[in-house]
Amino acid sequence: MSFMKKMIHYVVLATFVMFSTLSNTALQAAENNPYPTVVIADYVFGCMGSNGQTRQALEQCSCSIDVIASIIAYGDYEKAETVLSLRRLSGEKAAFYKNAEQYKSAVDELRRAQAEAEVRCF
Q: What is the mean pLDDT of residues 107-114?
A: 97
Residue 27 above 70 pLDDT?
Answer: no
- pLDDT for res 113: 98
Report the pLDDT averaged over residues 95-117: 87
pTM score: 0.70
42-74 burial by CB neighbour count: b if 16+ within 10 A, else e? ebbeebbeeeeeeeebbebbbbbbbbbbebbee
Give the tens place of pLDDT for each residue, 67-100: 999 999 999 999 999 999 988 888 776 777 677 7
Q: What pLDDT score does 92 carry?
A: 76
Q: How far apart are CA 12 and CA 14, in angstroms?
A: 6
Q: What is the pLDDT of residue 1?
A: 61
Task: List C-alpha distances in Å: 114 to 1, 71, 89, 109, 111.
Answer: 63, 10, 22, 9, 5
